[in-house]
Amino acid sequence: MATIKAEPFDFPVRSSEIALIVIDMQRDFAEPGGFGASLGNDVSRITKIIPDVKRLIEGFRAAGRPVIHTMECHRPDLSDLPPAKRDRGTPALRIGDEGPMGRILIAGEAGTAILPELAPIEGEMVIEKPGKGAFYATELGAILKEKGITQLVFAGVTTEVCVQTTMREANDRGYECLLCEEATESYFPQFKAAAIEMIRAQGAIVGWTAHINDILEGVAHA
């Protein structure tokens, strides 16, 4: 069996059962005028990982393995947006408000779209999720079961929120989870570092972490 060099120990690859999930690489989180910026964050921290996320996507495509994209967004009528989520904090723009790229995190708006450099190609699944985790109120679990997927490699943003939440959801459902360290990011470097430590602590209690070159090599030769 092929393996990927990882922490806290090598990740065993089942080539027909592995897929890549790219979490929320959207304009609203990565560009000025979007939701991330409205919270006062430095969005350049997100854009810097675009080349590595793209390399990872292209590697999975070349290996013939599924690539699944997620987008955090809500219905235009906000019926799937709890007030506790919309009203929290003091952002310059709240979810549903009109911003420079359309209504913030609303399905179909320009800002909600995945960054063009990482856009899905024909046949790739796109999961629209109203929560931080990609399994909540979505068809993701059914899709993975149908495809026979048992192993998930993760990329995207932010490491400590939507990425880690989805990894924990997947872990509880029995999936083996591997995070690509270069292809994920947080607005806060200390939060990314802490999330990586938590994920792989105590014998990969949530999952493994690995570097992009090792992941690409492992998937290519699996």
Residue 53: domain span: 16-176
In a domain, 220, yes or no: no
Tokens representing residue 117 in the block: 């450099």
In a domain, 183, yes or no: no
Catalytic site includes residue 162: yes
CA distance 75 to 131: 12
Catalytic site includes residue 129: yes
Residue 1's pLDDT is 80
Residue 134's pLDDT is 98
In a domain, 198, yes or no: no
In a domain, 172, yes or no: yes
Q: Single out the residue of 52, 26, 31 nearest to residue 153, CA to CA.
A: 52
CA distance 210 to 196: 10
CATH of the domain at 76: 3.40.50.850
Residue among 28, 129, 177, 180 flagged as catalytic: 129
pLDDT tens digits, the chain, 222 residues: what are they? 899 999 999 999 999 999 999 999 999 999 999 999 999 999 999 999 999 999 999 999 999 999 999 999 999 999 999 999 999 999 999 999 999 999 999 999 999 999 999 999 999 999 999 999 999 999 999 999 999 999 999 999 999 999 999 999 999 999 999 999 999 999 999 999 999 999 999 999 999 999 999 999 999 998
How many CB atoms are located within 10 Å of the residue 108 CB? 12
Residue among 73, 132, 162, 192 flagged as catalytic: 162
The number of domains in the chain is: 1
In a domain, 67, yes or no: yes
**Residue position matching structure tokens 């906000």:** 78
Residue 158's pLDDT is 98
CA distance 190 to 188: 5
CA distance 137 to 80: 9
Residue 98's pLDDT is 97
**Can you tell me whether residue 69 is helix, strand or coil?**
strand
Residue 169's pLDDT is 98
In a domain, 214, yes or no: no
